[in-house]
Structure 1
């Protein structure tokens, strides 16, 4: 009797675990290098149609790329200027907001005292101690992070320039790496990645404009200050799936609680944002973005959590497009196609085929078991 030893499978699994562990380690260690590179790749795919159109009209490649990047940076600069002006106005009225915030916080503490018996003074002291500890422990780290983020942001336009300039050169590199016989499959993968990422990013931008407009209109109706800023800030956080809208709604809710006499304004803001989120998730995004990124919600949440653990907020923003790119690669590999399948959304045909297979397996057994059961009963009788 020959018994197959399980050692090869165990060694294969151990090798995969070692590779994954080393990969995650280097992703964390090289975060400052990898995140700007990946952001540059995604933004290059987003703006590449402008460059291609300029080149088709006879503009040389370098001027076309420079014009594209200048237009992109001009848009970002305009947004940043508006955001800075809004923040400057909020800083000007900060003392008044702080005073009203303290009044609201005191009322909240009294409610906690009446409900749970917490002493207001002890609550305030604990909040002050926590704030002081956070400032002392993370103040320098926060400044260091801001400096590092600005330095990385300055590298993104430079990376974008070379990504657009050497796009054919990188394709030739892949042909040489994988062999000329794989050229057709490499082209299919590259075109599919371009289609998925470009349509997703362009569609997401349109969705953010629509959702930001709806948020702003709802806040204007409720007469909430800085409605445009809060509305589009919450829409921009759609870059972080599922939880971005929740984070973006907290600021206008807090503003309504501080600046309005009745808490019903805050309830109205929360209700409006929930309704807009429902419309966005069920009608706007499916119609505009469609099924370009067909990732099932479970895998999207897992990717979101892992991205946050590895790269923080940047990882959460990059999680969905990166998992979509990985799915495209898996779908075009025979050995990895099952992993691409589990990342995608199940279709009704999959469930129907599974039910048909189960029926096909069960029905013959029932036909066989019927006569056997009758014969056994007769013999026992």
Structure 2
């Protein structure tokens, strides 16, 4: 009987010990799961930092671009503009993107998509989007837009128009063409005849004739910016007719001009960007239209909160246009003549025509692609 009571007592004590141990273990686990005061402080700091990062992310400017039908890799106009945006992304901390337009019918849908994405600025590459930008700017008055080579929308409060003095750069390559030609015959392939695009022709022909009044300039309007085959066919015909230097202002169409020069062993002059890399033995220079500089300048103004509405013009005096730095195929005397012409333009001693009326007043009816 005593033995039985003792056994029961031992068993009861064992249960109590086990219960206490389990309780103690449970309490210890709770303590481990509860952050200390120091942990809580660190956690709060981490949360604040994350919130700060999120705020910074939401305030980053978003800039998007719509290409014309030449596409982002047209090795010309669109590519130059995209280069400017990429530089802005790297140096100014903005977020950039683009949509390509396979046809003109894509302009509206591309711009609508970029509006829906909440971009702070939408850049349209080229005057062909002028009507689309006008409609979008009026439909979305709080959305900022920019367009290259169009000033018809300058009165809209949310549109910035980037214009260039492409006639000045074209004058310089006209000097080059006249001096490099051995036949006194040169050519010019235009992408499309418009007041803006014709400025390339006015400057080029003026540069040729001022340098060599006896030179003849053969002209062709491809009426397309993405038809390399048409550009090639036009250049081949010019070379067949005796021209030995052909300048193009035709976007992707001009790639055909350069291809023809390679095949024919003749000279080509590029446009918009330094196109010497496309044919190092044939592209003697390029009339650079610095869309990259203009786009970067525009975005930089936005980051500073400056006004960007209206016409902003980029010429030789502010880094908007120039002759390409690649001049490996040019003799020293040609380079010197080009620099002389450049200095005179900057000084106002040479006024390069930019309209048909100005051109005709000095040179007569020798350039007309209307």
**TM-score, normalised with respect to structure 1:** 0.24
Greater fraction of residues in helix: 1
Highest Rg: 1 or 2?
Answer: 2
Bigger proportion of residues as strand? 2
